[in-house]
């Protein structure tokens, strides 16, 4: 998505070097529709510059700082030298993330999504999150809950969450479920302990998926899973609950898996 407006003074922008002259560099702004800026030769690099082409080339992607914007003359003054390496890397990553988010919007709402629909959905997300990428990332981690305060309708939320969970890579996600275990036999306590061991599994702490089973209050037990992605976490959670159920049912008991606490935490 490209913005139709103008950048602000002091803003960092990503652009492609379009033309190099003796007096400076013209840069097409990647994030703004039909906007082009000029980086004067004195703002290309520190020190005396003999040849601008020693520092930039046509087609190169650069990060520049907006020095001044004059909308009446359609002029944007830029500085490349005022951007340090850390700022450059951070801005490039942010730009790449937004390109990903733009692609995800097309996946969620179709390649032929209208500008009007795209803008309405994007603006609804941007009310709650700084960037579209942030919105998708939080949707991947927290599901529909991440978008409950937006003005999106149920179908739009579902489309974003489904797309996010299929495409967004996050450092890790946490999912939690609860299982109620009951066993009326005389040695029911022992059978419940065995069911909890079954839930933990032999490989609960192996690899990138971490699983923990804790006591909440009879007959309720919490299963918490940390994994590198939502699908892995959900699979591990459901598998753990399934192992506990198989174990307790075999012993003559019952199991009920649910996602919310039945009582408030003490």
Is the pTM here over 0.75, yes or no? no
The token pair at 114 is: 């209208």
3 state SS of 28: strand
CB 132 within 8 A of CB 105: yes
- Quote the pLDDT of residue 206: 53
- Quote the pLDDT of residue 115: 87
The token pair at 53 is: 């082409």
- Quote the pLDDT of residue 174: 84
3 state SS of 129: coil
- Quote the pLDDT of residue 264: 47
- Quote the pLDDT of residue 202: 66
The token pair at 97 is: 């993330």
Q: Is the pLDDT of residue 265 over 60?
A: no
Cβ neighbors of 135 (< 8 A, separation 6 or more) are: 101, 125, 126, 128, 129, 146, 147, 160
Of 169-173, 189-193, 230-234, the one with minimum mean pLDDT is 169-173
3 state SS of 48: coil
Summarize pLDDT for 95-113 with one digit per residue, the tens.
Answer: 999 999 999 999 999 999 9
Average pLDDT, the chain: 91
Summarize pLDDT for 176-206 with one digit per residue, the tens.
Answer: 999 999 999 889 999 999 999 999 886 555 5
CATH of domain 86-167: 1.10.150
The token pair at 113 is: 């999504």
CB 28 within 8 A of CB 7: no
CA-to-CA dists, residue 209 to 233, 247, 258, angstroms = 7, 22, 21
- Quote the pLDDT of residue 167: 93
C-alpha closest to that of 254 among 217, 219, 215, 211: 219
Separation CA 151–CA 128 (nearest Å): 10
Has domain 173-258 been given CATH number 3.30.470.20?
no
Looking at the domain covering 12-83, what would its CATH class be?
A: mainly beta
Summarize pLDDT for 62-73 with one digit per residue, the tens.
Answer: 999 999 999 999
In the chain, % of residues over pLDDT 70: 95
Cβ neighbors of 164 (< 8 A, separation 6 or more) are: 104, 136, 137, 139, 140
Domain boundary assignment for the chain: 12-83, 86-167, 173-258
What DSSP element (H or E) covers 86? Answer: helix 85-109
- Quote the pLDDT of residue 263: 53
Q: Is the pLDDT of residue 3 over 90?
A: no
Q: What is the mean pLDDT of residues 213-230?
A: 88
Residue pointed to by tokens 């995800």: 104
Place 1 in a pLDDT band, splitting at 50, 70 and 90: low
Q: What is the mean pLDDT of residues 135-152?
A: 91
Q: Is the pLDDT of residue 162 over 80?
A: yes
For residue 79, what are the β-bridge partners? 65
- Quote the pLDDT of residue 70: 96
Check if 86-167 and 173-258 are the same fold: no
C-alpha closest to that of 208 among 227, 225, 223, 229: 227
Q: What is the mean pLDDT of residues 148-167?
A: 94
C-alpha closest to that of 245 among 179, 185, 190: 179
Summarize pLDDT for 72-85 with one digit per residue, the tens.
Answer: 999 999 999 999 99
CB 239 within 8 A of CB 169: no
């Amino acid at each position: 998505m490209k913005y139709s407006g103008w950048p602000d003074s002091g803003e960092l922008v990503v652009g492609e070097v379009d033309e190099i002259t003796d007096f400076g560099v013209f840069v097409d702004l990647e994030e703004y529709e039909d906007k082009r800026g000029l980086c004067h030769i004195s703002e290309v690099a520190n020190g005396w510059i003999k040849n601008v082409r020693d520092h930039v080339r046509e087609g190169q992607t650069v990060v520049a700082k907006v020095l001044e914007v004059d909308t009446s003359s359609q002029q944007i003054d830029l500085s490349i030298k005022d951007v340090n390496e850390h700022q450059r890397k951070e801005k490039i990553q942010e730009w790449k993330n937004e390109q990903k988010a733009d692609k995800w919007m097309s996946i969620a709402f179709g390649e032929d999504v209208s500008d009007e629909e795209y803008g309405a959905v994007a603006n609804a997300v941007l009310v709650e999150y700084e960037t579209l990428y942030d919105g998708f990332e939080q949707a991947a981690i927290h599901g529909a809950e991440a978008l409950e305060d937006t003005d999106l309708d149920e179908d739009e939320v579902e489309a974003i969450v489904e797309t996010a969970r299929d495409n967004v890579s996050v450092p890790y996600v946490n999912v939690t479920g609860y299982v109620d275990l009951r066993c009326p036999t005389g040695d029911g306590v022992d059978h419940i302990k065995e069911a909890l061991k079954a839930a933990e599994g032999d490989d609960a702490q192996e690899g990138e998926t971490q699983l923990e089973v804790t006591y909440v209050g009879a007959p309720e037990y919490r299963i918490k899973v940390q994994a590198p992605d939502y699908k892995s976490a959900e699979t591990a959670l459901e598998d753990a609950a399934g192992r506990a159920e198989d174990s307790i049912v075999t012993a003559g008991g019952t199991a009920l898996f649910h996602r919310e606490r039945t009582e408030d935490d003490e």
